[in-house]
Structure 1
Amino acid sequence: MTTELYWLTLTVLMTGLMWMPYIINRMLEQGIGFAMWDPQGETKTEVTWAERMMRAHANAVENLAIFAPLVLTLHVTGLNNDATALACMAYFFARLVHYIVFSFGIPLMRVLVFMISVVAQVTLALTLLGAF
């Protein structure tokens, strides 16, 4: 497994588990039955961190749709290098920190770590385009 695929796998796993804290909070607030019976997704939580965490999770999923194909294309083409390995690692940690600071409502830090993840994605794309 390449370094890029390793970090992609960890990123997918992390993103896939990001729902757990806010769903557990919902179960504690409303009970398991009511938390699970929300066909329209319209129930509100009593705490703002859980709402922010839901938005951070959605943002992580949206960005994974960009990151994953870039990593997979690098793997298939064999264009991975030290820069792409570092970019994938940076992406993982940037998304982790983004999730945390978004959840706690730290706006400037949120933007900075989001930009790190964007730079990582651009690095992968430019590598595929032959810029590196």
Structure 2
Amino acid sequence: MTGLPTELIVLTILALLAASMWMPYVIGVARLPEAAGEADGFTRPADLRSLPAWIHRAHRAHLNLIEQFVPFAVLVLLLDRANGFSALTAWTTIAFLGLRIAHAAGMISGLALFPLRSILFNLGWLCCLILGYAVFAAT
């Protein structure tokens, strides 16, 4: 494929996902009736709670992804620097990617109700802890 380690491939996919997660929110807001009269087709809503539930959830899904992507990215880059990639880190990054996709899809669709959404988020946090362990183990 590319010769990149699995961890860096996953990091790239997650970076692209994080960079794209604003789209459901903006598309949802642009489709609101009050946006039709705007010259640029977009109105900035005053209160997220006043939006249809799925649009508000799309905004929160983006924020939740960024919250976990930043420490995940730092840990993967530290592991790369420390030559600390292993089977554990490869499978942990793959699991993290799957969890973040499931979290975003479940959040936006409204299917990941409490406690499932929290479980998915916390499993992602656990993945970061595993990667943190691997950083210290590699040094």
TM-score (norm 2): 0.84
Structure 1: 4+ residue segments shifted above 4 A: none
> How far apart are 1:46 and its partner, in Å?
3.5
In the other structure, the counterpart of 1:55 is 60
Question: Equivalent residues in 2 for 1:1-132 (5 A)?
Answer: 1-29=4-32, 30-31=35-36, 33-35=40-42, 37-38=43-44, 42=46, 44=48, 46-103=51-108, 104=110, 106-130=113-137
User: For residues 88 and 48 of structure 1, what CA distance do their matches in structure 2 show?
Assistant: 30
Q: For 2:137, what is the secondary structure of its paired residue?
A: coil
Displacement after TM superposition at 1:43 (Å):
5.2
> In structure 2, the residue corresponding to 1:130 is in which secondary structure?
helix
Q: Distance in 2 between matches of 1:106 and 1:49?
A: 13
Distance in 1 (alpha carbons) for counterparts of 2:118 and 2:92: 18
Structure 2: tracts of 5 or more residues without a match: none
Q: CA deviation at 1:100?
A: 1.7
Whether the 8 Å CA contact 1:101–1:107 is kept in 2: the answer is no
More helix by share: 1
State percent identity of aligned pairs. Answer: 27
For structure 1, the residue ranges without an aligned partner over 5 or more in a row are: none
Distance 2:123 2:115 in 1: 13
Cα separation, 2, equivalents of 1:78 and 1:48? 44
Shift of 1:11: 0.6
